Amino acid sequence: MKPKTRNVAVSNLKWVHRQSERKKLPASYFLLPEKRLFPYRNKDGTINCNLLRAAIVRAAQHGYREVEEKARRLYRRYCQK
């Protein structure tokens, strides 16, 4: 079964910028789970295409090649129509 997507503007996701809130979420919601970096799911577990696009940009900017590639794969799979 394909996971649902729900696109919420990143600016409206206050938990993304709070480390204490990130710790409450499952590690599987992040593209770099051991550091809880690059979130790509909303709190309800749905995939957020806006977060995936942000992860692609930031991972490329900071040299996380594997994260960038994974984010691109997920984006192509769930977000491109």
Between 5 and 67, residue with greater pLDDT: 67
C-alpha dihedral sign at 11, 15, 19, 23: negative
Residue 21 lies in a domain: yes
**Is pLDDT at 2 greater than 70 in this prediction?**
no
Residue 34 lies in a domain: yes
Residue 1 lies in a domain: no
Alpha carbons 75 and 27: distance in angstroms, whole number:
19
Exposure of 59 by Cβ count < 10 A (0-12 exposed, 13-18 middle, 19+ buried)? buried
Instruction: Quote the domain boundaries for residue 36.
Output: 10-78
The tens digit of pLDDT for each residue in 31-78 reads 999 999 999 999 999 999 999 999 999 999 999 999 999 999 999 999
Strand runs (DSSP E) across the chain, as ranges? Answer: 30-32, 37-39
Model pTM greater than 0.75?
A: yes
Count the domains in the chain.
1
Model pLDDT, residue 11: 77
Identify the bridge partners of residue 77 per DSSP, sorted by sequence position.
none
